[in-house]
A and B are shown apart, each in its own frame.
Chain A
Amino acid sequence: MEVLKIATAGSVDDGKSTLIGRILYDTKSLTTDKLEAIESRSKANGFDYLDFSLATDGLVAEREQGITIDVAHIYFSTANKSYIIADTPGHIEYTRNMVTGASTSQASIILVDARNGVIEQTYRHFFINNLLRIKDVVVAVNKMDLVDYSEEKFNAIKAEFENIIAKSDYKEQNITFVPVSALKGDNVVTTSDAMPWYKGESILDHLEKLNAQDVFEKGQARFPVQTVVRPKKDEFHDFRGYAGKLYGNDLAVGDEVTVLPSLTKSTIKEIYFFDKKFEKAGRGSSINITLTDNINVSRGDMIVKTGEEPSIEKAVTAKVCWMDSKNLVSRSKYLLKHGTNQVQAMIESVDTVLATDFTGNDSEADSLTLNQIGTVKIKLAKPVFYDKYVDNKSNGSFILIDPQTNNTAGVGFIE
């Protein structure tokens, strides 16, 4: 079955939890015991309706404060697709969580409260979708029941949103507007009689038709070596397999390849998945390959098709989303983890902090604070083999690890 990963962001006030709860409820994905737990808890809290956030806010602190702090993963399926929702908080102080949730998603739902229209949070959410190149975006205009299911209201919000889209540089993005009432169930799973003027599909019908593509879109084949398999068994005496996950595109037996950084050339001899040999492997598969030549390949190296080599540089410029409470400042040192490769990095300069509201009011800066996104120049002790993020997501992104705390302090999208 296809798996579609979706990111949602928003606060409780937007009705995001209600929307997710509605999807789970109408697709009969909530089991009896979970539903009973939500019913009794809602009642105990004195609510008139079922508080579906109780199904997703898994931490004590979240339930106490009535907010979503961390990314939660919610699973449901229909007859033809399995869905994983990465549910994240939408406030500015949770930008890093939104980026995290969006990084593993192929589609995204942006919630807009029909009464309030497009607000700062909407801009930021769309900005992140844009930065991460999320292909399919659903703008769910929620709480239509509270604006008398007004077509004018919906169109006004749509027009306002289209102004932002006009400023986007990601023209291949598919954006769909759906008027919904998550509370009443209008246009969430089934289409609604309350809005006869809306001729489109419900959110779920729309999602059902999406092609569940890899998060990492098609580009050139990139094979970062995770580990070398040497069985040291009699029957596989000379076996030397390079194990890894294939990104970007297919690789086939007979393909001429170049190993980075040594630039050694060879040819793919065999492709294994477990104990079976294959002629060709598609992107996304975790395979084990052997080469015709006995050359030195180790973890952190990358195998690519000859003639399709990525940039090999000891410096990168990237948009960085900062995730640590300790600011990112120039001259500071981090470990840069790019695929299976890990190198010492020094921040050469922090240049700008990006405005996440599409006003273009980027400001000059010399540091990034928690949840800020900025442009950063980085020097490296050893070369990395990279693509631009817009050309190849997997090979165009990296994380920065603080060598003192070992924490993942930031994520970068190479320019």
Chain B
Amino acid sequence: MNTITTELETGTTHSDSTFLRTNALESEAIYIFREVVAQFEKPVLLFSGGKDSITLVRLAQKAFWPAKIPFPLLHVDTGHNFPETIEFRDRLAKELGVELIVRNVQDAIDAGKVKEETGKYASRNSLQTVTLLDALEEFKFDAAIGGARRDEEKARAKERIFSVRDDFGQWDEKNQRPELFDMLNGKIDLGQNVRVFPISNWTELDVWSYIEKEEIEIPSIYFAHKRKTFIRDGMIWSAEDDVVYREEDEIVEERLVRFRTVGDMSCTAAVLSDAVSIEKVVGEIRESTISERGARIDDKRSEAAMEKRKQQGYF
């Protein structure tokens, strides 16, 4: 049998240095999951089918084994998700025996609650917020666990692990509760809810290294594949479907690409890559000089784009 040690203890138990870091981060994330279940009545895990939420699912499995994950998964489907991600989502939920709740942005559009953006940069990304808040209210979820990380974006870097939202889902960035040591205060009033971020302290590389080490399956679009694409503003966009608006003079070519994040198709650009395996993806991330969200057009709208969306209840 083995001895569990975290890297904080020894720093020498594993040969590959990137794996070790994940151990302390892994214990921290498991600790956070257990606090959520102990402190809240009705938690839910926000599942997008992306690598961060897939990592969350694995951590939740570890936190409660041999019991099943004690909360459902919620996917806010923009209707513009990559088909590979949707197929993957359904299969994973089935394998885990966990309830999967899907709520569609299209329903909010049809009901006239939100208006579809138009034009060259139209995206359903920001429309997700309304559907998310509706779903939290419908099921009376008091804690929504998400895969956001502080290294993603500088407004995220200011967010707490337990982030309290008011009845309107708003983030009050100037009045956040201090988080000391690892003590998490989940006390809320009726109507409020808390967004929980167990992998706050992980970097993109930590997530990829963890996926590699744990041999976690992820959707195929994360690996290099041939795709019909066109170039706009120096970024590569998928042309395989009519979700992304394309001008007549934007020429479609087949390129070898992969995706670093899998948000809404309309705001997620691809990168040129020949990384067909997880080892190669990890190698690529390590060498990359462009940040992960550099390929997310939703953050490029303005310097405060993320902060504004969060104030409105975005996760």
Contacts and interface: CB of A to CB of B under 8 A. Distances in A.
B166 to A, nearest CB: 12
A273 B27 CA distance: 10
Contacts of A397: 180-181, 183
Interface stretch (B29-37, B45-53, B263-271): B29-37
Interface string B1-27: 111111111110000011111001111
Interface in A271-307: 271-288, 299
Contacts of B8: 2-3, 212-214, 284
B91 interface: no
Nearest to A102: B180
Greatest chain B CB density within 10 A among A55, A58, A72, A214 is at: A58
A166 interface: no
Given A31-B289, A41-B303, A71-B158, A278 B4 contact: yes
A15 to B, nearest CB: 20
B280 interface: no
B154 A82 contact: no
Interface string B152-181: 011111100000100000000110111111
Contacts of B181: 103-104, 215-216, 393-394, 397
B63 interface: yes
Contact of A233 (B27, B63, B66): B66
Interface stretch (A194-202, A258-266, A400-408): A400-408
B174 A244 contact: no
A61 B176 CA distance: 14
B164 to A, nearest CB: 8
Contacts of A60: 304, 307
A150 interface: no
A63 B307 CA distance: 12
A380 interface: no
A281 B4 contact: yes
B261 to A, nearest CB: 14
Nearest to A55: B154
Contacts, number: 211
Nearest to B25: A3
A70 interface: yes
Interface in A308-346: 323, 335, 337, 339-340
Contacts of B68: 231
Given A72-B157, A274-B62, A278-B2, A33 B189 contact: no
Contact of A214 (B9, B21, B37, B155): B9
A88 to B, nearest CB: 11
B130 to A, nearest CB: 23
Contacts of B104: none
B158 A275 contact: no
Main secondary structure of the interface of A (DSSP, over half): mixed
Contacts of A407: 177, 185
A164 interface: no
A167 interface: no
B24 A284 contact: yes
Contacts of A283: 6, 9
A245 B27 contact: yes
A288 B65 contact: yes
A278 B307 contact: no
Contacts of A33: 290-291, 294
Contacts of A34: 291
A233 B20 CA distance: 33
Given A279-B1, A286-B31, A408 B38 contact: no
B27 A284 contact: yes
Contacts of B289: 31-32
Contacts of A137: none
B111 interface: no
B17 A80 contact: yes
B27 A399 contact: no
A70 B3 contact: no
Contacts of B118: none
A2 B21 contact: yes
Contacts of B110: none
B66 A229 contact: yes
Interface in B59-86: 61-68
B187 interface: yes
B3 A279 contact: yes
Contacts of B164: 406
B212 interface: no
A58 B158 contact: yes
B150 interface: yes
B6 A31 contact: no
9 contacts: A1-B17, A3-B7, A3-B24, A59-B155, A70-B158, A273-B4, A278-B4, A283-B9, A288-B65
Interface of A: 1-3, 31-34, 37, 41, 55-61, 63, 69-75, 77, 79-80, 82, 84, 96-97, 99-100, 103-104, 211-216, 226-227, 229-233, 235-236, 239, 241, 243-245, 271-288, 299, 323, 335, 337, 339-340, 393-394, 397-399, 401, 406-408, 411
Interface of B: 1-11, 17-21, 24-28, 30-31, 34-35, 37-38, 61-68, 150-151, 153-158, 164, 173-174, 176-183, 185, 187-189, 200-201, 203, 205-206, 288-291, 294, 303-304, 307
Given A100-B179, A280-B3, A340-B38, 13 more contacts: A1-B18, A31-B288, A58-B307, A72-B158, A75-B201, A82-B206, A231-B67, A233-B67, A235-B66, A273-B62, A278-B3, A337-B185, A411-B180
